[in-house]
Amino acid sequence: MTTLQDGRSARPDGGPDVRPASSRRPGASAARLRGIGWHVLIIGMLALLLYPVVWLLATSIKPTDEILSSLSLLPSRLAPENYTAAMDGIAGISVWTFFGNSVLVAIGSVIGNLVSCALAAYAFARLRFRLRGPLFAFTLLTIMLPYHVVLIPQYTIFQKLDLVGTFVPLILPKLLATDAFFVFLMVQFIRGLPRELDDAAEIDGCGPVLTFRYVILPLLKPALVTTAIFTFIWTWNDFFSQLVYLNDPDSYTLPLALRLFIDQTSESAFGPMFAMSVLSIVPVMLFFLAFQRYLVEGIATSGLKG
């Protein structure tokens, strides 16, 4: 019988096994090579994805005359005046005004989506009413509807209400559960919760409102955080709808303010523009880092924790 002593295998005649390691584990080298190959591939893809960010950071500290004339990431000299010019603002308007406008629109959109989409999702997932199925199907169909199709009717309505040039056209639709993707996300999440929780709440005397408040809403936190993160990022980076509805530079958000660096003079100020681009990324990164734990939790959990 073959025995193992001191971590070495023995031959049937009692002598030590002197075979090389490669002969004992023929697949070890191939598995190691595959692992190295996967790591190299992943690192290469990561470098490809991070290159635009690195380029933006490097360009923000380059002198303006080197931005278009030099392909090197490293500047010949540092140009901190780009950030100074960006912080001074544009056309007499402080950069903090643009930041404040962006924060107002983004936070208003986040609150609107959280409230309206959660209520609509609870109604579709738990309540019984006529035409619930067709209405939910119609809501999902709006996901495939391009934004440009409804842009002109919406603009006409807000113009007749004398709301063009304010933040209302950017925030009000969020209060009406117009983002069908988040409604669908929350509906699927709520449908995964046991109905026994609703039955127990009903036995305790809770109606639909109290059941939503004390049972569904606490368990809905992962889906709410996911909705908040994506709504904030999409609204913060939105350019087209803000360009359509905002016509006063004092009400411009950061995406519109970046365009002013090109339009305000005949000579484009690329250095300050890239510096302000870096500054505009910071709130998005901080918002994501603050809530990424809940986002991962929403992916990993079944929603039955609380």
Give the pLDDT confidence of 107-165 residue by residue, as tens digits: 999 999 999 999 999 999 999 889 889 999 999 998 888 888 888 999 999 999 999 99
Kindly list the distances between the CA atom of residue 209 and the CA atoms of 28, 133, 154, 198, 213, in Å, as whole numbers in the listed order: 60, 21, 32, 11, 6
Q: What local confidence, expressed as pLDDT, does residue 22 receive?
A: 47
Is residue 226 within 8 A of residue 184, CB to CB? The reply is: no
Please give the Cα distance from 306 to 303 (Å, whole number): 8
Q: What local confidence, expressed as pLDDT, does residue 297 receive?
A: 62
Q: What local confidence, expressed as pLDDT, does residue 25 receive?
A: 59
Q: What local confidence, expressed as pLDDT, does residue 13 receive?
A: 54
Q: What local confidence, expressed as pLDDT, does residue 34 receive?
A: 84
Q: Which of 169, 167, 165, 139 is closest to 151 using CA atoms?
A: 169
Q: What local confidence, expressed as pLDDT, does residue 252 receive?
A: 92
Kindly list the distances between the CA atom of residue 205 and the CA atoms of 199, 200, 201, 214, in Å, as whole numbers in the listed order: 10, 9, 7, 12
Q: What local confidence, expressed as pLDDT, does residue 302 receive?
A: 40
If you count them, how many residues does the chain have? Answer: 306
Q: What local confidence, expressed as pLDDT, does residue 217 receive?
A: 92
At CB < 8 A and 24+ separation, what contacts does 239-247 make? 240/147, 241/147, 241/151, 241/169, 241/170, 242/105, 242/170, 244/151, 244/155, 245/155, 245/158, 245/164, 245/165, 245/166, 245/169, 245/170, 246/165, 246/167, 246/170, 247/164, 247/165
Is residue 26 within 8 A of residue 35, CB to CB? The reply is: no
Q: What local confidence, expressed as pLDDT, does residue 1 receive?
A: 44
What residue ranges of the chain have pLDDT lower than 50? 1-10, 21-22, 301-306
Helices (H), 11-163: 21-24, 28-59, 64-67, 81-88, 95-126, 132-141, 147-160
The single residue listed with the structure tokens 């190691």 is 32
Residue range 223-244, pLDDT digits in tens: 898 899 899 999 999 999 999 9
Q: What local confidence, expressed as pLDDT, does residue 14 receive?
A: 54
pTM over 0.85: no
